[in-house]
Chains A and B, each alone.
Chain A
Amino acid sequence: MTGKKPRNLLYLDGVSVSFDGFKALNSLSFVVEPGELRAIIGPNGAGKTTMMDIITGKTRPDEGEVFFKGDIDLTKKDEAAIAELGIGRKFQKPTVFENHTVWDNLELALNRSRGVFATLFYRLTREDKNRIEEILSTVRLTARRDDLAANLSHGQKQWLEIGMLLAQEPELLLVDEPVAGMTDAETAETAILLKEIARTRSVVVVEHDMGFIRDLGVKVTCLAEGSVLAEGSIDFVSNDPKVIENYLGR
């Protein structure tokens, strides 16, 4: 099997998982290429978040295969190991460390060794400092670097979390509803930012906002009831009768 898929960054095949008899994922198959930006849509309960849980090691699939970079079996690894492999995740609800400053949030996310003693004797190097400053300006939070993350607005928290993901330097970014609760201007800027990020890594975005997905202008996968309903450009997918019936029409 491994010989067949060395090019795919992420490869899911026949993944099923059920919770108390409810099939959250039903033989889901799905591939992401290196450098691809992919949008995922689907009604509530379609299995979008469960799919992310499986990729990041939070949930183990009942059956099916999940491979990263061709031959790394993600079903055998835990969250920390998968994060270190280079898969970053942004949650639906912005989750930043509220009791830390914006700067410290980024410092914690920075892709450096994460052992007990490495962190105990960590010193901020010039290189790390420059990197954090660079990210701060990318996500427009330079002015608030010393403020507690708890005091940021909702949109700023979302941006800080995206900044934390950048600091992690992942090869694959999973982004769950990045523009929920954002103004139209913020939404448009987030689309620009994500496209920028996708130039150097793969990004998978789960989103409900069809306008936002149109802004992204990428390949779309529509999930429903735990498996792939349709895949293609936004116009192709939104004209698919099954998609209209299951998702758009409702």
Chain B
Amino acid sequence: MITSFLVKSLDRTIVVAVAILLALAVIVPALNLLTAPEHPLHVPTYLVSLFGKYLTYALLALALDLVWGFCGILSLGHAAFFALGGYAMGMYLMRQIGARGSYGNPLLPDFMVFLNWKELPWFWYGFDMFWFAALMVVLVPGLLAFVFGWFAFRSRVNGVYLSIITQAMTYALLLAFFRNDMGFGGNNGLTDFKDILGFNIQADGTRAALFAASALALAVSLVVTSGIVRSKFGKVLVALRDAESRTRFLGYRVEHMKLFAFTVSATMAGVAGALYVPQVGIINPGEFAPANSIEVVIWTAVGGRGTLIGPIVGAILVNGGKSIFTAAFPEFWLFALGGLFVLVTLFLPKGVVGTAQNYLASRRASHAAARKESESEKAASLADAETVAAE
């Protein structure tokens, strides 16, 4: 059952993408750790972390593609799931600081001491253990998506209205996490992390390992997502995206289908957030900003919605562009991003990868047609020759 699911998921593009990701997970850390800084192939640590961050963005975009590209749910709140995963990881990292904080309190993080809190709030219990934090990384976003989706899909909230309430959801979380008495560090968020699983978070080795983990997580998610969309369930998703009421009349419980996809997608976004936080060293409520979720939509659209590979390419391209652009002309970045979105929507509605795939497919088709034609010509001339010979 599981094997057939996995075999189905592996078409050629996915195999190539997974191979590239796995190779990167080995080669980049190796070039960073094993070569001397003056070696021409040396990858500096800042680049390892930067691309590690891009990979987590790519995972977030992939998660969005599952619901937007295949299921037609334009979520404008996916960064919320990402941020929740990030906060779960951040809480673990905060508790690893222990007595090394500025106030030296062995139990309470600095911001709680600063706010004169006497004991750890109940929802911080357990986060000193990695396995518990890891569980929360998938459970909290997954549960929020499940409850949110349960009400939204059952009430048949669709299209723009759904997008608006996902946006409202992330905005509400933004406001909530800004409050100091929520117990998540308020405005400043969680930062000053020291180590993860006992390793110094600033060390080159840890950074390289986090990069490898991000690449691995992306590869695994790609295989799982591909398996989902190539299964019969995935066909139902596309069917309900294109003709929802027809799908209902065939007897499918559209709301259950959507709920499953939305929840899986949210857990993937949570994992992405959890890998993002240790690599950038901070998580604050700014991650819940509606603009962040909209950016994810732009990456996915640029790369090609509904292609799985596209969102990964899009996330890396746009963020690479952002890194370069914001260094060179910081004040123009948002205009460039908006312009990019408009141009892609107008001229590349299938995104970079979708357009490339279409081009390749049409070339292959015309090749095949040409081959068929020349073969039939050959057969015809052969037949002619035979008749001539017979005469």
Binding site for B on A (CB under 8 A): 56, 58, 78-80, 83-84, 88-89, 91, 95-100, 104, 107-109, 114-116, 119-123, 164, 168
Contacts and interface: CB of A to CB of B under 8 A. Distances in A.
A99 B239 CA distance: 8
Contacts of B243: 95-97
A80 B252 contact: yes
Contacts of A78: 248
Interface string B207-249: 0000000000000000000001001110110110011011111
Contacts of B257: 116, 119
A230 B257 CA distance: 44
Contacts of B236: 108, 114, 119
B5 interface: yes
A115 B246 CA distance: 16
Nearest to A170: B251
Given A104-B235, A108-B235, A120 B242 contact: no
Contacts of B231: 119-122
A114 to B, nearest CB: 5
Contacts of A121: 1-2, 4-5, 231
A80 to B, nearest CB: 5
A83 B251 contact: yes
Given A80-B254, A115-B256, A120 B233 contact: yes
A104 B248 CA distance: 16
Contact of B232 (A56, A79, A98, A120): A120
B210 to A, nearest CB: 31
Given A80-B254, A122-B232, A89 B249 contact: yes
A84 B251 CA distance: 5
Contacts of B390: none
B179 interface: no
Contacts of A115: 253, 256
A104 B2 CA distance: 21
A97 B251 contact: no
A50 to B, nearest CB: 15
Contacts of B239: 97, 100, 108
Contacts of A83: 248-251
Interface in B1-36: 1-2, 4-5
Interface in B247-283: 247-254, 256-257, 260
Given A100-B239, A114-B251, A121-B1, A107 B232 contact: yes
B10 to A, nearest CB: 16
A72 B170 CA distance: 43
Given A108-B235, A119-B257, 19 more contacts: A56-B249, A80-B248, A80-B251, A80-B252, A84-B251, A89-B249, A96-B243, A96-B246, A97-B239, A97-B246, A108-B250, A114-B251, A115-B253, A119-B232, A120-B228, A120-B233, A121-B4, A122-B233, A123-B4
B34 to A, nearest CB: 42
A114 B252 contact: yes
Interface of B: 1-2, 4-5, 228, 231-233, 235-236, 238-239, 242-243, 245-254, 256-257, 260
Contact of A116 (B233, B242, B250): B233
A95 B243 CA distance: 8
B293 to A, nearest CB: 26
15 contacts: A79-B248, A83-B248, A83-B250, A89-B249, A91-B246, A95-B243, A96-B246, A97-B243, A99-B238, A100-B239, A107-B232, A107-B235, A119-B232, A121-B2, A168-B251
A96 B247 CA distance: 10
A30 B231 CA distance: 42
A95 B246 contact: yes
Contacts of A97: 238-239, 242-243, 246
A87 to B, nearest CB: 9
A1 B1 CA distance: 48
A96 B257 CA distance: 19
B240 to A, nearest CB: 9
Contacts of A79: 245, 248-249
B253 A58 contact: no
B3 to A, nearest CB: 10
Contacts of A99: 238, 242
B9 to A, nearest CB: 11
Contacts of A104: 235
A158 B257 CA distance: 27
Nearest to B254: A80
Contact of A80 (B233, B238, B253): B253
A122 to B, nearest CB: 4
* A-B pairs with lowest CB-CB distance, top 5: A83-B251, A122-B232, A119-B233, A79-B248, A120-B233
B236 to A, nearest CB: 6
A49 to B, nearest CB: 13
A114 B253 contact: yes
A161 B260 CA distance: 28
A40 to B, nearest CB: 18
A126 B228 CA distance: 22
B301 to A, nearest CB: 18
Contacts of A91: 246
Nearest to B257: A116
Contacts of B250: 83, 108-109, 114, 164, 168
A135 to B, nearest CB: 14
A164 B246 CA distance: 11
A215 to B, nearest CB: 27
A97 B235 CA distance: 10
Q: Most chain-B CB neighbours within 10 Å: which of A84, A97, A168?
A: A97
A101 to B, nearest CB: 10
Contacts of B5: 120-121
B300 to A, nearest CB: 18
